[in-house]
């Protein structure tokens, strides 16, 4: 009998025997492995928490109690145990299961979570809110109240927000459980002094004997509770034997562990005791990232979030499916070349060497490349310090994570006039990771900084040229953005890209008297080119690679608008404060007719998980939508006699956006 198909709610799970849970764990592992091998997704982090997730749902009732995730890419087992097996086959698509916790899918997911470090703080807020509502668990006054559990792992405990959350948790006067999933890994090898602390703790041979001694002592307590009596009836020696993680004790949290995160009976025993504890507690659980398969255990970095792959279990041979050359790969190789030419260039990432391409840089330049762990704010400040001492720092970071370091970009970089260079991977729509990872606001938050310059890379040659421009830009912060996508096999304008010149666009296709002009920022240049091609020769449309969102090419804008030529701006960024907004502002400042400008940008709405091309179509930024917008702009010009829109108001072209909907099989516990 297979157990997983029978699990519609966690109540079905709790009806199983502990022996059956081991079989269920294997079924969950197999289901996740099979689906991710077909279509990609987060593999190793989910394989590592199967037993832990089963034990949590076995002990707690999260239809009533609260489970809050940190680093939500560990949620697949949780979703399968809360009735979403039917959505697994279309994982990370609109019709299927999101790759991160998603309240639109199920009330078992309290927050959409995709950024590290947040889980403890949100859990503290939920715990306080439940207590204020009279719904918080209290073993004496309200034994039927809600318990709160925060599951944190993949080294996100080193994040500054997690530290702040622990500081807040330590003063709670109620039950509060932090489960620390310690797998010795982040997305890649964890960095920093705290990671070294946990390494020492896991490898300390004294740990095993201490734990055995503590368990023997505790079992001999007549009627004693594993945790409560140890703290209320025993002395400091017993406490020390039970609490090796003294570091957390300084925050005021009782600490238990580490315990084996793949031993279901032990997990259930400890969680059952922790469930009714009346004070904040950390349960330190040691797991193996990628557990259950040799390929993922042996290379949990590669299999953290792989593309689809084929796997021969007999030979353990793996072949990752290749779908072209990515911007990330092109960036990594360009940085190796740049650092080889200029010994003052150095590189940094925040726990994403593979995801940003710096895994090619770190082994070649170990003295000039850094991985700070999941600490974007620290990384930005460290880059400021390096810039202050005469170095040329490049910080490779996902667009969705750069806002976590905006205060540092403002205070320690821009205000000081320092030249820190940001390389924004995953800019725009990111595909299967969905709304939690879209890079939709990097232009708007960075454009406000004086002396900052923002570049867009359309292809590999322009990415290399942008990096070279940034290498010599010393006036302030600079940033180049590029998508989670492949570079064009045949670059527009050829493989030889002219150098970037501050605030100047590049003509790709130019007419003396065009019907309209497209200013495309970044990779949207290619969708715009396809749109223009589809219009046919009867429409003369000039195409420009805008290159800069700050400063925009004022001379080009003046030339076009002064002649009454409509401009369509295209960008994979939000409409507020983006590239199109900068063009409109420039037109207004020059006293030109902004009514001739039509802005195409991401809609002012959330776009959920799906393929990137499907998301672009939904956003109205595919070639067909751009072509339709161009026709409308040309028709408006003809109808107004070439004077542009009425009242000089720019047009914001946003395609109708379907309201957010939960996938089929929406759950409510």
**Catalytic residue ranges:** 289, 376, 404
Order of strands, edge to edge, in the sheet holding 453-456?
A: 369-371, 345-349, 392-398, 421-425, 478-481, 453-456, 548-550
427 close to 480: Cβ distance less than 8 angstroms: no
Cα–Cα distances in Å, from 375 out to 193, 371, 401, 648? Answer: 13, 9, 10, 46
Eight-state DSSP code of residue 93: S
Cα radius of gyration (the chain)? 27
- Cα 226 to Cα 53: distance, rounded to the nearest angstrom: 21
C-alpha 651: how far from chain center: 32
Eight-state DSSP code of residue 412: I
Beta strand 541-545 pairing with 506-509: antiparallel
- Cα 111 to Cα 100: distance, rounded to the nearest angstrom: 9
600 close to 629: Cβ distance less than 8 angstroms: yes
What three-state secondary structure class fits 656?
Answer: coil
Handedness of CA 245, 249, 250, 251 (dihedral sign): positive
What three-state secondary structure class fits 40?
Answer: coil
Cα–Cα distances in Å, from 596 out to 472, 545, 566, 649, 650? Answer: 36, 19, 5, 8, 6
- Cα 217 to Cα 197: distance, rounded to the nearest angstrom: 27
Q: Which residues, at least 6 apart from 612, have a Cβ–Cβ distance to it below 8 Å?
A: 429, 430, 431, 483, 484, 485
Eight-state DSSP code of residue 595: G
């Amino acid at each position: 009998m297979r157990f997983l198909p029978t699990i519609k709610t966690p109540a079905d799970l709790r009806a199983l025997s502990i022996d059956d849970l081991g079989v269920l764990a294997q079924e969950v592992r197999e289901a996740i492995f099979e689906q991710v091998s077909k279509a990609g997704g987060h593999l190793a982090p989910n394989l590592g928490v199967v037993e832990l997730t089963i034990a949590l749902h076995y002990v707690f009732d999260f239809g009533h109690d609260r489970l809050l995730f940190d680093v939500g890419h560990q949620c697949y087992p949780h979703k399968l145990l809360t009735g979403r097996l039917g959505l697994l086959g279309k994982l990370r698509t609109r019709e299927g299961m999101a790759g991160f916790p998603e309240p639109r899918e199920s009330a078992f997911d309290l927050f959409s979570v995709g950024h590290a470090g947040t889980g403890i703080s949100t859990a503290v807020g939920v715990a306080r809110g439940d207590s204020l509502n009279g719904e918080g668990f209290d073993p004496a006054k309200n034994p039927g109240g809600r318990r709160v559990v925060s599951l944190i792992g993949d080294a996100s405990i080193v994040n500054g927000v997690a530290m702040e959350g622990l500081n807040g948790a330590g003063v709670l006067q109620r039950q509060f459980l932090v489960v620390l999933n310690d797998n010795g890994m982040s997305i890649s090898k964890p960095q920093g002094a705290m990671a070294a602390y946990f390494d020492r703790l896991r490898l300390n041979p004294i740990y095993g004997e201490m734990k055995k001694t503590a368990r023997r002592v505790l079992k001999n307590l007549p009627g004693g509770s594993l945790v409560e009596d140890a703290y209320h009836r025993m002395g400091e020696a017993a406490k020390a034997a039970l609490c090796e993680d003294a570091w957390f004790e300084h925050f005021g949290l009782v600490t238990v562990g580490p315990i084996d995160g793949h031993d279901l009976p032990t997990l259930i025993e400890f969680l059952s005791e922790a469930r009714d504890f009346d004070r904040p507690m950390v349960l330190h659980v040691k797991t193996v990232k990628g557990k259950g398969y040799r390929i993922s255990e042996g290379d949990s970095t590669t299999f953290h979030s792989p593309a689809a792959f084929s796997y021969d279990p007999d030979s353990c041979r793996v072949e990752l499916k290749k779908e072209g050359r990515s911007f990330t790969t092109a960036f990594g190789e360009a940085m190796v070349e740049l650092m080889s030419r200029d010994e003052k260039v150095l590189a940094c990432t925040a726990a994403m060497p593979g995801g940003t391409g710096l895994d090619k840089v770190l082994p070649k330049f170990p003295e000039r490349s850094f991985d700070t762990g999941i600490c974007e704010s620290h990384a930005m400040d460290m880059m400021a310090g390096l810039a202050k001492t005469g170095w040329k720092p490049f910080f490779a970071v996902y667009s969705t994570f750069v806002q976590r370091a905006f205060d540092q970009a403002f205070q320690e970089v821009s205000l000081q006039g320092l030249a820190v260079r940001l390389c924004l991977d995953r800019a725009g729509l990111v595909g299967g990771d969905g709304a939690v990872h879209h890079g939709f606001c990097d232009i708007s938050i960075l454009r406000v900084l004086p002396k900052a310059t923002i570049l867009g890379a359309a292809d590999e040659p322009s990415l290399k040229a942008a990096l070279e421009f940034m290498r010599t830009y010393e006036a302030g912060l600079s940033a180049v953005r590029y998508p989670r996508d492949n570079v064009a096999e045949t670059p527009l304008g050829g493989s030889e890209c002219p150098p970037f010149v501050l605030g100047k666009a590049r003509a790709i296709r130019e007419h003396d008297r065009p019907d309209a002009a497209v200013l495309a920022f970044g990779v949207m240049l290619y969708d715009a080119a396809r749109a223009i091609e589809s219009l046919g020769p009867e429409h003369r449309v000039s195409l420009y690679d805008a290159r800069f969102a700050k400063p925009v090419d004022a001379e080009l804008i003046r030339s076009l608008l002064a002649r009454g030529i409509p401009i369509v701006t295209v960008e994979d960024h939000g409409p507020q404060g983006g590239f199109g907004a900068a063009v409109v502002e420039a037109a207004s400042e020059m006293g030109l007719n902004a009514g001739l400008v039509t802005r195409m940008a991401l809609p002012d709405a959330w776009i959920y998980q799906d393929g990137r091309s499907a998301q672009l179509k939904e956003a109205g930024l595919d070639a067909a939508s751009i072509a339709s917008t161009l026709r409308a702009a040309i028709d408006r010009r003809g109808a107004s006699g070439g004077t542009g829109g009425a009242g000089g108001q720019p047009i914001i072209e946003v395609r109708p956006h379907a309201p957010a909907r939960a996938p089929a099989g929406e759950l409510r516990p």
